[in-house]
Structure 1
Amino acid sequence: MYILDSSNYRVVRWLSGEPLGFTVAAGHGYGSTLDKIGTSYAIYLDNHSNIYISEYSNHRVTKWFNGNHTAGVLIAGNNMAGSTAYQLNSPWGIYVDANYTLYIVDYGNHRIQKWIAAAATTTTIPPSTQPLNQTCSTAAWNSTIKIVAGTTSSWGTASNLLNTPHDVTFDGYGNMYVVDYGNHRIQRFPSGSTSSTSGVTVAGFSTSGGSGYSQLLYPTSMFIDRNETMYILDSSNYRVVRWLSGEPLGFTVAAGHGYGSTLDKIGTTFAIYLDNHSNIYISDYSNHRVTKWFNGNHTAGVLIAGNNVAGSTPYQLNSPWGLYVDANYTLYIADYGNHRIQKWIADAVNATTIAGVSTVAGSWSYQLHYPTAITFDQVVRWLSGEPLGFTVAAGHGYGSTLDKIGTSYAIYLDNHSNIYISEYSNHRVTKWFNGNHTAGVLIAGNNVAGSTPYQLNSPWGIYVDANYTLYIADYGNHRIQKWIAGAVNATTVAGVSGVAGSWSYELHYPTAITFDQYNYMYIMDSGNNRIQRWWSGFTHGVTVASASLYNPRGMAFDTSGNLVIADESYHRIVLFPVSCRE
């Protein structure tokens, strides 16, 4: 628990069930210097356990980095009450999202402020949206259609009609956005709309079209981010426009220099994609290429696929249409004129055809005929329901060289799809970069069993956090090792090195490790048939689950927070139900 102890002007961290708490932020009395806090009513903890304090009387928000309670850092406000974009007036509640964007209840100004990390000013905005759910792995779709916008064979400018719609997308609230090409506008329809539902025009306020800030001219595609900001491919103005929902004007964020084939221009275009850094990808149909426009630069794009000449070789495209960019910045292109889908790895010279037969149109299951759009539900190494899987790491037999692995009991996949293998018999952990199964890289241990800070002894379970810090269940040493990326030595964060035991500060052959969203570490203490919860910096753990188990090995949280255990020698899976105290 992190408690804002307001009249002691401090934040206290308190382990549930313990008699004492410890100051982790402030605690130096009342004041406006950065080592002190004023009257405060709200705190927030991010995923790195940094603490944000909303200081009502100091009209600011300060950030206290994990492990430092000497002084905070000013991240919002300027210590003076005010209503300008860089000021706050008696702030109260706060929230920090995954991008460290800060949302502040600016109590005295009667507004909600959004403060982007490292920004000097804020914007008053509506609430951010959440992504839609993925489809289930066994999804099937009924062939009976339901009209959710527009009327069959009827076109017009009325709010319930469309004119040659080109694209559709959804925000996190389930609202549907239609690119109404012939009416030069974007229409928003609520969830559950029908053919009689009137849409709301959210961009493009002249049905005759134009090039002004409030106008669009034959838009063909759009992308909407988590904050409901729209990115619109304004095709006949040869630009991409960013439009904040509810605003009367949009602003050019890519191209906008007219029609052409130089990299400061675009040609006829039908699709865009926005990555998680707000870089814009444009599928340039008439220039037979895809260009990338970095966030903040609309002067010129960068050529990332195709060579400006129509063709069917692996480095060419022919009238590309739809596109998709995954978390590794791999580009998937609906290569319309070649009747194929091309996969283009970031910075690669050539693409690989992953669907369709190049230049051959057809209706067989292995063929495509002028594909125009592409999307994904999820990317996996073994597609659910398929009979075959493909090797993505090792596969060269048993051994201790870096192209091989030994006896191994655990892997971990980071958010770039790099694979970490805990090699029990080689006393090491290797990292296999995404796309390379030729050889791994040694990142922990030295191939020799030992108990020094740079060695491991029969490692088992592993966990990698968002900073690529590695946590290892060092089975033979009865300890958990924390290995910061690039470090030579590890730090013992749980257990006593080389000592097996059942006291709360000891472990006995740990086999698995995981974390919850509050940064608690959970250890499968196999030899003691228990699960220990351990807080960072503490010298002992707390037993949260124990039972009659027989060589328990793996564990995980299910979606409800229940602990699920693979109980090896009893040949069963055991679930410990979660309960949340009031």
Structure 2
Amino acid sequence: MEMVNVECEEQEMKINNDEDLANSLTIQIIISSSYLRRLVMTFSDLMKQAMVSTIIRYFIFILFSFTVRVESQFCRGISQYDQCSLNSACACFYIAGAIDTGICTAIFTDCSKLVACKSPDNLCDEPNHRCIHHPLCHNLPVCYLVPSFNEQLCPPIAVMNTTTTIPTTTITTAAISTTTTKTIQQLVIPNIPVGARWAQNGTNVAGGHENGNATNQLNEPWGLFVDDDQTMVIADTWNHRIIQWTMNDKNGQVVAGGHGQGKQLDQLYWPSDVLIAKDTDSLIICDVGNQRVVRWSRRSGTTQGEILINNIDCFGLAMDDQRYLYISDTDKDEVRQYKIGDKNGTIVAGGNGRGAGLNQLNNPTNIFIDQQQTVYVSDYNNHRVMKWNKGAKEGIIVAGGQGQGNALTQLSSPQGLFVDTLSTIYVTDPGNNRVIRWPKGAQQGIVIVGGKGQLYYPIGLSFDRHGNLYVVDSWEHRVQRFSME
């Protein structure tokens, strides 16, 4: 793929209009040189999907009281529609009224959905929309949805912090009550020997038949939960569904969603993670595109879910043995602990603004909770794994933290996370297409699989009770099992 040279430089843009609160927008763009993430999608892969016209709709609307932070990517020094990311599904759209500055975002081909900007100030009424030029659709500038969560699809060349003020949207849902505090072992953690090794060539245990929506296919899956009997529950993200796969089956079974992307209770919109709640025999799902956490019963005949938590930019989920639910919030850069039925939760990691301090996180993704309620977090943009002891005010770096890179002391956008009984950390390192094992107290990790063409952007990770490793090989649209030798 031909690389595009994008000039990145520090810049600051401010747009003010005192007459209308909804148009009062202050943008501070800080662009610093950084590593390009190794996130590659070929155009041919994209065209195989019947979803090209809806790619843009997966982005999260970050709406909370008085403040919205939009993460997106600006491009300079290149032409309209030029590739501005290693992902060829993204292009540069010039900003109306700006000089030589565009927004790098996903290609949206449904021109009929676009409306003209309000002249003469090039304003947009819809939240999270920006006025851009799109000459293939309209001669005049149009309002275009700017993603608030495009780091998975359009890896940013630079980090931009945007603050805006808009009205708050509130959705009310009924609380889900709980009356017992019975302790149930939520996750069986295998005893993995210190010198354990895994087969270097994995076995396809789900998907692997190119991308598609048949029951023997997956489409860029992200999250994974492996049950005691080796049943896999997979967040089939681009298919907007949760699919269950029993060991040795040729086809999976759709157990949540699968009715297209949408916000109805029988639909999902870019699910990123899933777990099985043992006490209620239900699935708890992070429904990214709908900014909610939902629960679906696993009982036969279930046709829709119920909302547990709304208006949350969730990404990762975990549950401890006391039935507390933990959720990472990529907008607030925090992890919260919830009792089922609670809408507010308690901060247990981060929550001190976006940053690289020991009391901060920067786009937390996957999480893991041990039996002492210790919180482990994949700190995506800080390229590290953080450990927060119960009640701690700041975390401890337990893997990475030496900048983005491919050395054994480094990680590149870590995601999937698992911690064994010896406190050894296992983390997917998608920017380096590998899985790293990081022993407790070690100064560097060990590559246990990948790095030699076996994986293509691995995200989710788990183990079964026998110590076999399961990896969501996202861009190969499959789950692979690596047997412990």
* TM-score (normalizing by structure 2): 0.38
Query: What TM-score results when the alignment is normalised by the length of structure 1?
Result: 0.32
Which has the bigger relative contact order, CA under 8 A and spacing at least 6? 2
